[in-house]
Amino acid sequence: GQQLNQSPQSMFIQEGEDVSMNCTSSSIFNTWLWYKQEPGEGPVLLIALYKAGELTSNGRLTAQFGITRKDSFLNISASIPSDVGIYFCAGQGAGGTSYGKLTFGQGTILTVHP
């Protein structure tokens, strides 16, 4: 099945550093979402983006819906140890048989050293 191109695959950073990750697709999406998964748990929604060009913040997290509707990025500022986890991007299709179903990126594994 289709997957989004999410990068980087993994990041090892020092506490206090800023983090940036992104997703690209060959298809247009109506919605972009960013999830965080902690070890042994299910993913939890961090940010949802519904309009091209939209920039949304949630605390130290900022995400943007690309104007081409084919990409999105997530920034984390001033990282802390509890930011550790896997971050997934997801896009929601514009219609047809994929209507409603999310397409996920491969995930970015984030490790934060104290």
Q: Which residues bind another protein (CB under 8 A)?
A: 1, 3, 31, 33, 35, 40-45, 48, 88, 90, 92, 100-102, 104-107, 109
Ordered alpha helix ranges (H), the chain = none
By beta-carbon proximity to another protein, the closer residue of 33 and 76 is 33
d(CA 78, CA 92): 29
Least distance from C-beta 92 to another protein, angstroms? 7
Phi–psi pair at 13, nearest 5 degrees: -130, 165
Phi/psi-derived region of residue 26, left when phi > 0, alpha when psi is between -120 and 50, beta in every other case: alpha
| Nearest approach, Cβ of residue 16 and another protein (Å) | 25
What is the nearest approach in angstroms of another protein to the Cβ of residue 65? 14
8 A C-beta contact, residue 102 and residue 90:
yes
Closer to another protein by Cβ: residue 67 or 94: 94
